[in-house]
Homo-oligomer: A and B are copies of this chain.
Amino acid sequence: MNALDRLTALFSRLPGIGKKTAGRLVYHILEGDPVYARTLADELSGLHGAIRRCSACGSFTETDPCPVCADPGRDRSIICVVERAQDVPVIEESREFRGLFHVLGGLIAPLEGIGPGNLAIGRLLERLRGGEVRELILALNPTVEGDTTALYLQKLVEDMKDAERGPAQVEVTRLASGLPVGGDLEYADRLTLSRSFRGRVKV
């Protein structure tokens, strides 16, 4: 295997990149400026050393705690729970949310052998016991796994309230599910449509 084939094989291990696309990328890099290839190489080799997980929320960061957790301007009474660390920048870009985050690191999926014990749920409960949090926004995908995890977390918070170990009032909410903005009613699936009916709001 020569250098071209080795690099093509490595690229094709990335998600969504097949052998053909990988080859195209390699030829593009080869025909381009060697400085680009070297810069890309440097960033890749430094990536795991530069990025760690925030010890508070679990998102990817260069500093610990992460810029969001360290920002005194953020609302510490609301925690937005996400599945993966890459969901954090997506929500940050919408500029809709000014609270803190919590990365679960997955969703409950019994068929894949992922139970609550595999997720950062214990650490989430600890944060709730601090007493500062008033709302938990579950920004989980509207899928079976997302629904299961949302129900599980909601139940846990209820139990905490009953046992009076936690704060008296932590409201658990979930992102609205419905028609995507700019979407077409005609192309909406049955479940999305049914959810958008149940969640209808006053104009």
A residues adjacent to B (C-beta < 8 A): 2-4, 6-7, 10-11, 13-17, 21, 23-30, 34, 36-48, 50-51, 60-62, 84-86, 89
Contacts and interface: CB of A to CB of B under 8 A. Distances in A.
A62 B4 CA distance: 9
Contact of A43 (B6, B50, B86): B6
A89 to B, nearest CB: 8
Contacts of A16: 21, 24
A13 B36 contact: yes
Contact of A45 (B2, B37, B46, B61): B37
A112 to B, nearest CB: 16
A44 B29 contact: yes
Nearest to A5: B89
Contacts of A10: 36, 39-40, 43
A44 B29 CA distance: 9
A57 B26 CA distance: 20
Contact of A3 (B3, B7, B38, B62): B62
B30 A48 contact: yes
A11 B44 CA distance: 10
A44 B7 CA distance: 7
A86 B24 contact: yes
Contact of A14 (B13, B29, B46, B47): B29
A157 B182 CA distance: 57
Contacts of A43: 3, 6-7, 10
Contacts of A44: 7, 29, 37-38, 40-41, 44
A38 B42 CA distance: 9
Given A4-B47, A11-B40, 19 more contacts: A2-B51, A2-B62, A3-B50, A3-B51, A3-B62, A4-B60, A7-B40, A10-B40, A16-B24, A24-B86, A27-B60, A27-B84, A27-B86, A30-B48, A30-B51, A30-B60, A37-B44, A38-B45, A40-B41
